[in-house]
Amino acid sequence: MTNGAAIASHPYRRDEVGRTLKPVDQAESVRTPASWVVVGLDNGGTCNNATVLDATGRYLVDSLVENPSLVTEGPESAIEQLAEAFHNILELTRTPLTLVRAVGLDTPGPASATGVISSKGATNFSMVSWHGFDIRSALEARIGLPVHYLNDANAAALYAHHQLFGAEAMTRSSVAAIVGTGLGGGVVQDGRVVSGAAGMAGELGHVQVPLHGVLEEGQPVPVCNCGFEGDVESIASLTGIKKNLLPYWLTRFPGHPLASEPLPQAAKQLRTYAEKEDPLALAVFEQQAKAIGKLFTIAANFTDPHAYLLGGGVVEAAPKFRQWFLNTVRENTQLRAEQQAAATFALVADLDMAGARGAAVAALEAVQSA
């Protein structure tokens, strides 16, 4: 099958804006391998995304290649869908199975460093059959190849690190905050993710930060779903907006159009208002940026990284707003003069593809260091 025919027949092929990729897009979006390869699989609540990275450092696809993840149907269905995603991406890129050395897999956490889902389950893995399930080993047994595991935020952080530093990635360090429904993150040192003894390093969302200068006088202390008060996720996340920030700020702007909306819908609409410089929305996002700045200040004193990376919905926002948000994070990160001269602040690139690409990078590193 030609590349064009493969794209035309592939049922879940999508580019970054969600339209079906047509054969005319093939030349710039799909390549065939120049050497042995690794595959990256990003497992999400709705879809899996797949990519291929060859030993020369080339990604063979430039767009999303998705299929339904079916995680809500339980482990057996989900593993079959991951296997399908694996074989689909090989067919699409005309990559023989014999060229694949390893697979990188990422999922949302919490999970162990070896890919065992928390005994209490997780947001995407709420069925009892997922509790304590070894998703890495199950996929490895299904496809017959070594599988290397990262959580999704760590994978995105790893890709962002390598994308930013290129050839110098293995001599550089970074800290990444990925703002979404929660707040994920990753710490990368010398080009590799710091996973920790139990695989839970880089859980930046649950770092408690000083709230002086973040909250207004009389504003209730935000509470996280994990039970912590004043951690970063309780402020800098969609959940933090819905649960903590927006209810407070609506009392300060009682006539605001969002006051008539249910909180979940209002929280999702807030970024659109911020892009239009709405005062209430900017107040909420300013508090988020300040909290992330406090987090990065703590990171500066622990790891003193070369780069502070910011990802999540803000990356997908209008350029003026996302630059304002990044600038506000930078202004609220307290660095010494020497650190300011050495450090970079940047947005995570290719966010929709960052998980699968970061998982592929981890697999490539594992093969090369074996």
Domain regions of the chain by residue span = 37-145, 167-348
Q: Output the pLDDT for position 28.
A: 56
pLDDT at residue 305 tops 90: yes
Residue 2: pLDDT over 70: no
Tokens describing residue 232: 């970063």
Query: For the domain with range 167-348, which CATH number is right: 3.90.79.10, 3.40.50.720, 3.30.70.360, 3.30.420.40?
Result: 3.30.420.40
Residue 294 reports pLDDT greater than 90? yes
Mean pLDDT, range 225-240, rounded to an integer: 93
Whether the per-residue pLDDT at 53 is higher than 60: the answer is yes
Q: What is the dihedral of CA 41, 194, 199, 292, to 10 degrees?
A: -90
Whole-number Å distance between alpha carbons of 94 and 132:
36
* Fold: same for 37-145 and 167-348: yes
Q: Which CATH superfamily is domain 37-145 in?
A: ATPase, nucleotide binding domain (3.30.420.40)
Rg (CA), the chain: 21
Nearest Cα neighbor of 295 from 199, 177, 154, 184 is 177
Strands 100-107 and 147-151 turn out to be parallel
Half-sphere exposure of 59 (CA within 13 A, CB side): 22
What angle, 0 to 180 degrees and rounded to 10, lies between the N-to-C axes of helices 351-369 and 152-165? 80
- Residue 213: count other Cβ atoms within 10 Å of its Cβ: 11
pLDDT in tens, 109-127: 788 889 999 888 877 888 9
Interstrand relation of 173-179 and 183-189 (parallel, antiparallel or unpaired): antiparallel
